[in-house]
Amino acid sequence: MATIAKLAVITLLLLTGACATESEPAAGGPRTLRIAHNSNAAALPVQVAMAEGIFAKHDLKIEFTKVENLTNLPGTLGRSFDVVLSSSSTVITAAQQGIPVTQVAGATIDVEDNPTGFVIGSKATGVTDIRNLSGKTIGVLTETGTAHLATKAWLKKEGVDPASVKAVQVDGPVQADQLAAGRIHAVETVMPFATHVLQNPDAVNLGDPYLKLAPELSTVTWIARQDFAKRNRDVLADFRTALGEAQDFIARDDERARQVFQEFTGLPDAVISSTKLPTYTTEVRPQDLEIWLRVMRDVAGFTGDVDLDALTSQG
């Protein structure tokens, strides 16, 4: 219920355009960052840095809110939050809509030996190949997100009209149940939700849609408003340093990292223990935004002009 209440507040702020003062570092005290992200494994370094005192070591105070749907978060920057997790496509769309966002830190990289994106079908629903999706319904995290864009590009490459596939939003934590119940025929998902979905014996992993675009690709990133980033370069530099140290902690203490993982996702032990964690990074990667912009123009009808340099220059 708390998450629903917070989402209601966020929506109200967006609809009314209410103004609030941006979080600014307090003189002589901890610098506060109001952060929002979902249950994505990409956010684990933030949670580890909070739990293990890494942010505190760098004189950073974190106020965290969990928001499962990342789509509207760019519009909350400077009002409810200072730094949020966002997909690359959402960042581009926000910029085209006049929201002055910029990437301030990388989150993960999708690579061939450690994929994080999944399209999962089911023998029970008759989807055992990407081409079986024509005329079917697929559950998606967000209809404007990177997973859905990449899947549409993959469908088009395989000769399937993306418009023939009905997309419905299904939040990650309930994707496994929705697919098992046959309410959807397949899902687009990421870790840790993919692990939960694949525990169903009927589930079939069709592949990683991101790797159909490039052998190495970032899909989610940490963003802030450009003006906030300019005024708080030192704070965000310490934020990236803390994330890097948290990533090192995850690499050397897998057991504790997974304990933190379970605490903020609430997923079962079996899912937590079997989830392969993504390849983490703090690097801002302008070259990946170029790929996403090209895909958005090709399969999503995106026609806006976007200054990609402005989306990475403050990082």
pLDDT tens, position by position, 26-67: 444 579 999 999 988 899 999 999 999 999 999 999 999 999
Question: With bands split at pLDDT 50, 70 and 90, how would you rate the model's confidence at 292?
Answer: very high
- Which of these, 80, 84, 56, lies nearest to 70 by C-alpha position? 84
pLDDT of residue 14: 40
The ranges of the chain annotated as CATH 3.40.190.10 are 2-110+217-311, 117-214
Alpha-helix runs per DSSP H in the chain: 2-16, 44-51, 54-57, 88-96, 146-157, 175-180, 193-198, 226-231, 233-252, 254-265, 269-274, 286-299
126, 167, 216, 256 from 129: Cα distances, Å: 9, 17, 23, 37
Q: What is the mean pLDDT of residues 184-191?
A: 93
What is the architecture, at CATH level 2, of domain 117-214? 3-Layer(aba) Sandwich (3.40)
DSSP string, 257-308: HHHHHHHHH---HHHHHHPPPPEE-----HHHHHHHHHHHHHHS-------G
3-state DSSP assignment of residue 206: strand
pLDDT of residue 141: 87
Bond before 209 cis per omega within 30 degrees: no
What is the architecture, at CATH level 2, of domain 2-110+217-311? 3-Layer(aba) Sandwich (3.40)
| Structure-token pair, residue 38 | 């979902």
pLDDT of residue 8: 42
pLDDT tens, position by position, 111-165: 999 998 999 999 999 999 999 999 999 999 888 889 999 999 999 999 999 999 9
Supply the pTM of this predicted model: 0.82
Instruction: State percent of the chain over pLDDT 70.
Output: 90
Instruction: Report the C-alpha gap between 177 and 186 in whole angstroms.
Output: 12
Question: With bands split at pLDDT 50, 70 and 90, how would you rate the model's confidence at 213?
Answer: very high
Instruction: State percent of the chain over pLDDT 90.
Output: 74
pLDDT of residue 315: 52
Poorest-pLDDT segment among 3-7, 106-110, 189-193 = 3-7
